[in-house]
Amino acid sequence: MQVHIKFLEPSDLREIVRGWNVVLINDKLDEKKFSRIVFEDPNYEKEGNLVGIQENRFVSYVGAVVREGIKGKDGKGLPKHKDIGYIKCSFSLENYQDTEQQLFHQVLKYIKNKKKKRVMVGEYTGEYFFPGIDERYVNELNFYRDQGFQEIDTNEDLVLDLKDYEPTEYQIGKLKHIGSLGIKIIPYDPKYLDSLRFLVKDLNYPHWFPKGWDINYGKKGNPIIAILNDQVLGWAEFYPTYYVPDSNMGSFGPIAVLKKFRKKGIGSCLLMEALLQMKKRKVPKVYAGWAETPFYLKNRWKIVRKYIVFEKQL
């Protein structure tokens, strides 16, 4: 049966989201979120987003993105990302994977024409749907394997129940330890912006701190910092309301500590303060996605989802 392949348009969102919520049942979304992740990504190009139509109805979607040069239009690319294109999403209605494959090959050609040498599924540091393929999506996992992709990594989502949360002995001990060194955990104040800029430069994480990050910083979110003699040594953010509809959770992260001050427990103390703040606000659970799993497990979080990261040489 003939397949009509077209570029994604805003008018397609209703049918795409309806299909998405039937197929990707662990990642329900609405048109607003889909539009934000696709159309509002500064690296968006229409050639990377294809829709498959059969018998005048939507059956498949493949979305990809590349960064022009190293940093890209979002300013979040690193030198190690220079040769990589990304598949942000690929799915089809049941029995239409042949159509998905046709779209997929056309999108891979688009990525290759952009002089990229590799394509990844997951770990895109811009706006993304998920950091890999949920291991429960067996059909999608097999689809990527059939296209010659190799599994190169895994990522996890973690959750902590806050209803009965109390700081662990480890956290309390670390708070006493850093306190003896003169380090304090406090809410962010704009007077520390210059010192925070120093931390940002040390980290070199443009996906967290793209160009212009410091304009009006602190007016959104709930940043907390670790300071020593007015120098910012560590930083974290938390949100009492997670952005997934009906999740009934808060979220934590990102978190970072100056390289020379790591291994002292500063990160665990920032985490503890954020959790206590959320518990005070009656947040029942807290989520951390695409996280540094050992750090969270040490602080008694539980893994709730696992993603497979794929890569293919072009």
Which distant-in-sequence residues (6+ apart) come within 8 Å of 244 by Cβ? Answer: none
Res 242: pLDDT: 60
* CB atoms near residue 226 (< 10 Å): 26
Res 244: pLDDT: 53
**Using an 8 Å Cβ cutoff, are 160 and 301 in contact?**
yes
d(CA 281, CA 305): 26
d(CA 82, CA 43): 14
**Using an 8 Å Cβ cutoff, are 61 and 51 in contact?**
yes
Res 103: pLDDT: 94
Give me 37's structure tokens.
């992740």
Report the relative pairing of strands 57-66 and 84-92 from DSSP bridges: antiparallel
Question: What is the reported pTM?
Answer: 0.85
Nearest to 310 by CA among 127, 112, 84: 84
Q: b/e per residue, 30-43, with b = 16+ CB within 10 A?
A: eeebbeebbeebeb
d(CA 138, CA 144): 10
**Using an 8 Å Cβ cutoff, are 308 and 135 in contact?**
yes
**Using an 8 Å Cβ cutoff, are 152 and 307 in contact?**
no
Give me 164's structure tokens.
């009965």
d(CA 115, CA 55): 35
Res 220: pLDDT: 75
* CB atoms near residue 307 (< 10 Å): 23
Instruction: Give the model confidence (pLDDT) of 120-159 as tens digits.
Output: 999 998 889 999 999 999 999 999 999 999 999 999 999 9
Report the relative pairing of strands 84-92 and 118-121 from DSSP bridges: parallel
> Cis peptide leading into 254, omega within 30 of 0?
yes
What domains are defined for the chain?
4-154 (3.40.630.30), 163-283 (3.40.630.30)
Low-confidence ranges of the chain (pLDDT < 70): 1, 242-247
What one-character DSSP code corresponds to residue 242?
Answer: -
Residue 37 CA from chain centroid, whole number: 11
State phi, psi for 266 to the nearest 5 degrees.
-60, -45
Burial class of 207 by CB neighbour count within 10 A (0 to 12, 13 to 18, 19+) = middle
User: SS3 for 295?
Assistant: helix
Res 216: pLDDT: 84
User: SS3 for 221?
Assistant: coil
User: SS3 for 140?
Assistant: helix
Res 177: pLDDT: 95
Res 313: pLDDT: 96
